[in-house]
Chain A
């Protein structure tokens, strides 16, 4: 398969709640475990013999069922995903694991638990700061999850299974890291919206299949030296972002997204789990200490330093910090991004959006203006 054929496969995988790979896995007797947040280690599902599936809301057009339980005061990401669940379209899952990622997602858990047919439910209480003093609590929460899964699914999740799972997930992460490294090139062989499509696919399909496809794709991309035209390179930062079309809108204006500092982006694949030592401890440490997200307090300086480093490594011209409206946790970091940007001069565009809203008229206008602003400052546009 060539590059565009593989990308088409990944696009098919991400466009529906139930993709053909998962369908095939289930028809072979396999189980699927859903989860909501980057702080829930997907390795545990794999070790239980399940396919981890990160919940998202592809193709959703309505939130009417979810609004009955959550009201319109809750963010559209949570409402769309709960709506799909209430429609029964996530009934292919054998279980779901949620956590206190934010006030809204933790309320979604109750609706899943009480109003859907998904039979297994578990909840992780994850500390809101990744300080060493709280790591043992997080690990205990993972142990409790394992115990509950072993009991419900009649499986054993021992060191051996966890080791195997770590290897499989590390291989997927390695592929995504290699893919992302290609985006450092002056002419990256893949656009931001395409790269995000690939990363999303890794969240919702069996990783064995994903790795096979990703390796072929990487071989094709490695040899792709075609020049790519763009007016400015961006890092996109934020929380939930699983809409490649949102990045495409930016790229259609002449931008090129070279890195996603988001939950469905780099937060998924940055940093491996060490394959030596007690596997659960290593999993807990990797997830707990990894570059933090907006829900973690005392995290912003480290996150900002990371963003500055990425700006350098990926030769980015600007930062687009975005969030879904009503998302409180990301509102805090966006405020901090704005303050830092004003004081240190990093070109920063802050965008609010709705999940699956389409259209993006305002986004187009604001991104165009942002690009013009960057060009006027850096004269980069003159090179085109």
Chain B
């Protein structure tokens, strides 16, 4: 099969064919408006990577915890640089392509000596780099969030690519002193990017990019507000895609459009009185931790089989602190630093445990949830490292908790069937009896 008339790496063909097929299948399905918007974005993202590969467009890579605004504002004209979120390929492969390609990449990285303790996201990315299927970057900008795996992967990626890395250090706490510290690093990052790309940062464009980012946050917050409705109007599987959107689509019109489709779909469904659970909503659960991206259909199984819906999760936890005041270059850098720190996942996994625990308890309250789900990706040592304190906090708040271990990209760690059994027992033996008391 060829894509855009040219022979491609098989890996990309799988993504492209997958996303195209899903779009064809769901076109015109009124229940799939939000998901179709995400698929459309995924298709665009894939084409972006392919044209970067074909046209030799300058590429600058960034990692999972990063945001693209500064990269989008480099150069005189729009789109002079292609900001490339390296792990996006792994996520897209899993969500809309063929996850067997991720397995191959994971296995390749391990065969080359990368420990299976390191996050599968990073192992798959390192495998993809070894396969030489990713666009070559001028340099990379990485952040030390959300975890050690991301941080050490930066060093290994540098070893493989021999390209310079600018590291943004995300400190332990998230207060004003820490925001100013990161803002100072963004100034240094600009110097680094200008030197490596030979392009000056266009401050007027940065202002526009940030204004566009703010419009996406507007839509995301409206969407989350609508998802508080009982019954939850929209399928749980949309939630984790918000993270990809924030990471990859911030500052772009396309990203804002997708977020607006999420919100419009939710609004339409609220007005029509529709529920995410076809047989009726029985349990509302807050999912904190990583999503089951190796099987995104798991969420639909929860809704169909258990009547369990997730109105909000960690990956969709957008907060007003992510707005950027575009008044001056200083306010922009300050607020981009704050946005960087407050990105979902990074905000929860770095720093003190209360950042995780308090947001989870707040979500339980704000979204009228009946229980919490600790989705423990095996490599998330920071998350497993607070499990005892989390259990105590939830016991005190009288919130039932299911904690389970899995790998977000690798079904070989915990199968769907095993997870389903755990969820069935939790729903039938713990949560429903409480609700029916």
Contacts and interface: CB of A to CB of B under 8 A. Distances in A.
Query: Are A and B co-members of a single complex?
Result: yes
Interface of A: 68-71, 73-75, 78, 100, 102-104, 106-108, 110-111, 114, 123, 125, 127-129, 131, 133-134, 137, 294-295, 297-300, 323, 325-329, 331-336, 338-340, 350, 352
Interface of B: 112-115, 117-119, 126, 142, 144, 147-149, 151-156, 158-160, 165, 167, 169, 171-173, 178, 181, 184-185, 188, 349, 352-353, 376, 378-382, 384-389, 405
A110 B352 contact: yes
Contacts of A137: 169, 171, 181
Interface-centre pick from A75, A298, A328, A329 (highest chain B CB count, 10 A): A328
Nearest to A294: B152
A333 B155 contact: yes
Contact of A339 (B112, B352, B382, B387): B112
A298 B384 contact: no
A298 B155 contact: yes
Given A103-B147, A103-B385, A299-B155, A110 B117 contact: no
19 contacts: A73-B378, A73-B380, A106-B385, A107-B385, A111-B389, A131-B167, A298-B155, A326-B381, A327-B117, A329-B151, A331-B115, A331-B117, A331-B118, A332-B152, A335-B156, A336-B155, A339-B113, A340-B159, A352-B115
A350 B173 CA distance: 35
A83 to B, nearest CB: 12
Contacts of B160: 339
Interface-centre pick from A71, A104, A323 (highest chain B CB count, 10 A): A71
Nearest to B116: A331
A102 B152 CA distance: 11
A137 B155 CA distance: 22
A135 to B, nearest CB: 12
Contacts of A350: 113
B385 A70 contact: yes
A110 B386 contact: yes
Contacts of B153: 332
Given A107-B382, A334-B115, A339-B113, A70 B387 contact: yes
A328 B152 contact: yes
A335 B114 contact: yes
A333 B385 contact: no
Contact of B385 (A74, A334, A339): A74
Nearest to B143: A128
Given A128-B169, A297-B151, A328-B379, A73 B384 contact: yes
Ranked nearest first, the 3 interchain pairs of A and B with the lowest CB-CB distance are A107-B385, A332-B152, A69-B388
Nearest to A141: B171
B172 A106 contact: yes
Contact of A70 (B147, B148, B184, B384): B384
